[in-house]
């Protein structure tokens, strides 16, 4: 089974750090961010990876090479510009296509305590073209309130948990997805997966299944998120990056 890791973005929200270094290569506790994404996948038994790269791609290729250093196989899908989630799938179609197995798609900038083996089994049991990984953990960065008909605040919740399943960017997909992306004419433009492809599947009555679990995750997409992870103590780093139990202090990332 192949795993496509999205590592093509320009990381504009992390500038100036990403002016000369691609976001997946930003240093984090002694390793590039992308290596922390890769390691749990290897531990889950993944051996065959495709990295979707574009912006400052050579830095990623030079570090990860063919994957032999980790005992895995790594190939690369390259393009002159990022192509969006669906566009990157289309660009990598010849490396991913299989009549027998689905493939896993994960973002190259998200640390997730996701049970990939269970996710893949869930997908196989349900048999749909798409499974989306959802977490029940997402702490809002702002306070919310309830206001009555007299405009009086009757309840206030500071940075509460959203209490809704939130997509953490990991998907399992099978070969049926390629024809759906092709109809959107992905050559030369960005095509998004959840915003453009998934509505087409639902309109056709094709099932999209949701794997919903209570697992912590950290999207390293903004400067304050990155700074918090860089500033972890060794113990906290072991909890988060090493895949240990959740550290509640960082659930607001």
Find the CATH number of the domain harbouring 232: 3.90.550.10
**Domain span at residue 205?**
2-136+164-250
Q: Give me the tens of pLDDT residue by residue for the chain, a chain 253 residues long.
A: 899 999 999 988 888 889 999 999 999 888 999 999 999 999 999 999 999 999 999 999 999 999 999 999 999 999 999 889 999 999 999 999 766 789 999 999 998 999 999 999 999 999 999 999 999 876 655 566 677 776 566 666 655 555 678 889 999 999 999 999 999 988 888 899 999 999 999 999 999 999 999 888 888 877 877 888 888 888 888 778 874 433 443 343 3
Asked, for residue 156, whether it belongs to a domain, the answer is no
What domain count does the chain have?
1
User: Which pTM was predicted?
Assistant: 0.86
Asked, for residue 100, whether it belongs to a domain, the answer is yes
Asked, for residue 148, whether it belongs to a domain, the answer is no
Give the pLDDT of residue 143.
Answer: 61
Residue that has been written with the tokens 């099978």 in this structure = 174
User: Cβ–Cβ contacts within 10 Å for residue 134, how many?
Assistant: 18
Distance CA 245, CA 68 (A): 30
End-to-end CA distance of the chain: 31
Q: Cβ distance 169 to 192 under 8 Å?
A: no
Phi, psi of 84 (to 5 degrees): 80, 165
Asked, for residue 151, whether it belongs to a domain, the answer is no
Asked, for residue 157, whether it belongs to a domain, the answer is no
Give the pLDDT of residue 137.
Answer: 76
Q: Cβ distance 225 to 191 under 8 Å?
A: no
Nearest-CA neighbor of 250 among 227, 229, 223?
229
Asked, for residue 159, whether it belongs to a domain, the answer is no
Asked, for residue 143, whether it belongs to a domain, the answer is no
Asked, for residue 145, whether it belongs to a domain, the answer is no
């Amino acid at each position: 089974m192949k795993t496509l890791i999205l590592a093509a973005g320009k990381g504009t929200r992390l500038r100036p750090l990403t002016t000369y270094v691609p976001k997946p290569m930003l240093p984090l506790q002694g390793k590039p961010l992308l290596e922390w994404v890769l390691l749990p996948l290897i531990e889950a038994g993944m051996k065959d990876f495709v990295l979707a790269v574009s912006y400052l791609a050579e830095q990623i290729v030079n570090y990860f090479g063919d994957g032999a250093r980790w005992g895995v196989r790594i190939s690369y899908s390259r393009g002159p510009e990022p192509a969006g989630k669906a566009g990157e799938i289309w660009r990598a179609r010849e490396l991913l296509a299989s009549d027998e197995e689905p493939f896993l798609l994960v973002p190259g900038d998200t640390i997730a305590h996701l049970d990939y083996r269970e996710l893949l089994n869930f997908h196989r049991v349900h048999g749909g073209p798409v499974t989306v990984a959802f977490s029940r953990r997402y702490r809002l960065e702002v306070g919310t309130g309830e206001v009555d008909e007299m405009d009086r605040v009757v309840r206030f919740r500071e940075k509460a948990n959203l209490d809704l399943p939130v997509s953490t960017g990991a998907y399992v997909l099978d070969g049926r997805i390629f024809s759906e992306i092709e109809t959107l004419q992905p050559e030369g433009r960005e095509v998004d997966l959840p915003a453009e492809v998934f509505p087409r599947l639902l309109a056709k009555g094709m099932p999209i299944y949701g794997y919903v679990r209570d697992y912590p995750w950290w999207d390293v997409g903004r400067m304050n998120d990155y700074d918090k992870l860089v500033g972890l103590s060794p113990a906290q780093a072991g909890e988060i990056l090493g895949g240990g139990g959740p550290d509640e202090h960082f659930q607001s990332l």
